[in-house]
Amino acid sequence: MGKLLNLVSLILISNLITSFAQDCTSYTFTNNAIYATCVSLPVQNSHLHWNYHPTNRTVDLAYRHTGVSTSQWVAWALNVDGAGMVGAQALVASPNSNGTVQAYTSSVADYGTSLQQSALSFDVLGLRAERVNGDVVVYGTLVLPGGRTSFNHVWQMGPVSNGAPGAHNMGSENRNSVGTVDFVTGQAGAGGGVGGSLLHRRNTHGVLNAVSWGVLMPMGAMIARYLKVFKVAHPAWFYIHVVCQVTAYGVGVAGWATGLKLGSDSVGIKYTTHRNIGIALFTLGTLQVFALLLRPKPDHKYRIYWNMYHISVGYTVISLSIANVYKGLDILDPEKKWKHAYTGVIITLGVIAAILEAFTWFIVLKRKKVEKEQGLVGTSAYGSNGYGHHNGHSQAA
């Protein structure tokens, strides 16, 4: 039995090794070229193979992108002076109508590029491309610029329509295909350069905002609406509500600021709706904080209008917050479980709110009945639901 297990694990391990090896170091090129170094890039099923020649500082390179259809372009680029797409010095492979692929160079000037052919800032010799079993391989010899051997690089795949390369998708694989490559050490940093820290900052922004605007604020509103129906919760509900919303606002502003910074840093990528909702949320949230300071005395005749204003702005903030968390999740495109987790939290809060809503009405109606029997209708601050309910503030505030 033990021997059998050993055999099975040996087979498994050797399969694993060969499948890795076939992916990278032992891949057989059609011209039998041997490359000393190979790295599998972290996204988009791509591999980079090369030989570096220190004497003339050239790199014989093969970029292999697997699973490419005959209506897709692929590209790999060094970004010598910057990072990411703008400034990329790209080797592009685009399909011909007869099934072959043609290679050319394209210097990417802006996000609106259609990858038109142009010269690069450094020389590339012997550029060509081929299609083999669904892989596209681009070959070329780079004459490394600037006395360096370490660079930011990017790689990409996109559709070809009417013979011209079209814009690639904006999924997470497409946005994370950036990194660093060192032709001497053979190291390719996954998401190095801007990529890693950008992803980290996006995640931070997402967590801060999902927790503050997306969870704490709805909870704070529920505290206000449902705790105050209990006489014993006066005036505690008011202070819990304030602490909850002020905390949410504080964390939310930090999240909002990281969002603005992300927006200004990612030139050319615009998430207009997400951004505008974010700005509206910050404005309304700030108004709520100031409204707290400006609220009329409990027995003031305008207090009812203040309550209506405060509650309607509050509900608007919560609806927009939840919508914007979903917008953000679509942009960040993390693993599905995060979206499911957030949906779970929202459904849970919704169910709790529905139960408490029913319970609140039950208590309020029962109280009314008792008061009616005692001839006390209309004199109690707890005697109504809805907006008037907020008179409960009075004792506290």
Ligand X SMILES: *[C@@H]1O[C@H](CO)[C@@H](O)[C@H](O)[C@H]1NC(C)=O
By DSSP bridging, strand 37-40 and strand 58-65 are unpaired
Q: Is 141 in the site for ligand X (CB under 6 A)?
A: yes
Please say which residue, 127 or 277, places its beta carbon nearer to ligand X. Answer: 127
Minimum distance from CB of 128 to ligand X (Å)?
11
Shortest reach from residue 26's CB to ligand X, in Å: 22
Q: Strand 46-53: give its sheet, edge to edge.
A: 37-40, 46-53, 58-65, 135-143, 124-132
* 327 within 8 A of 273, measured Cβ to Cβ: yes
Which amino acid appears at position 291 of this protein? A
Look up residue 127 and give its two tokens: 């550029």
Residue 117 binding ligand X, by CB under 6 A: no
162 lies in the binding site for ligand X (CB under 6 A): no
- List the beta bridge partners of residue 38: 49
Please calculate the CA angle 128-130-134 and round it to the nearest 5 degrees. Answer: 150
- Tell me the DSSP string of 334-361: --HHHHHHHHHHHHHHHHHHHHHHHHHH
From the list 27-35, 50-58, 75-83, 370-378, the region that binds ligand X by CB under 6 A is 50-58
Q: Tell me the residue length of the chain.
A: 397
Residue 274 among known ligand-binding residues? yes
**Pick 58 or 209: Cβ nearer ligand X:** 58
Contact criterion met (CB below 8 Å) for 231 and 256: no
Least Cβ distance, residue 141 to ligand X (angstroms): 5
Q: 47: annotated binding-site residue? A: no
96 sits near ligand X (criterion: CB under 6 A)? yes
Does 116 help bind ligand X (rule: CB under 6 A)?
no
Minimum distance between the CB of residue 53 and ligand X, rounded to whole angstroms?
4
Buried b or exposed e, range 281-298, using 16+ CB within 10 angstroms? bbeebeebeeeeeebeee
Beta carbon nearer to ligand X, 56 or 374: 56
**How many positions of this chain bind ligand X (CB under 6 A)?**
9
- Determine, following the binding rule CB under 6 A, whether residue 53 of this chain makes contact with ligand X: yes
Q: Which two tokens stand for residue 339?
A: 């979206």
Under the binding rule (CB under 6 A), the answer on residue 185 touching ligand X is no
Judged by CB under 6 A, which of 100, 276, 286, 319 binds ligand X? Answer: 100
| Torsion-angle region of 87 (φ positive above 0: left; ψ -120 to 50: alpha; else: beta) | left
d(CA 320, CA 306): 21
Q: In the stretch 288-327, what mask flags binding to ligand X with x, by CB under 6 A?
A: ----------------------------------------
Contact flag: residue 98 with ligand X (CB under 6 A): yes
Annotated binding site for heme b: 205, 241, 274, 310
Which residues in this chain contact ligand X in the complex, by CB under 6 A? Answer: 53, 55-56, 58, 96, 98, 100, 125, 141
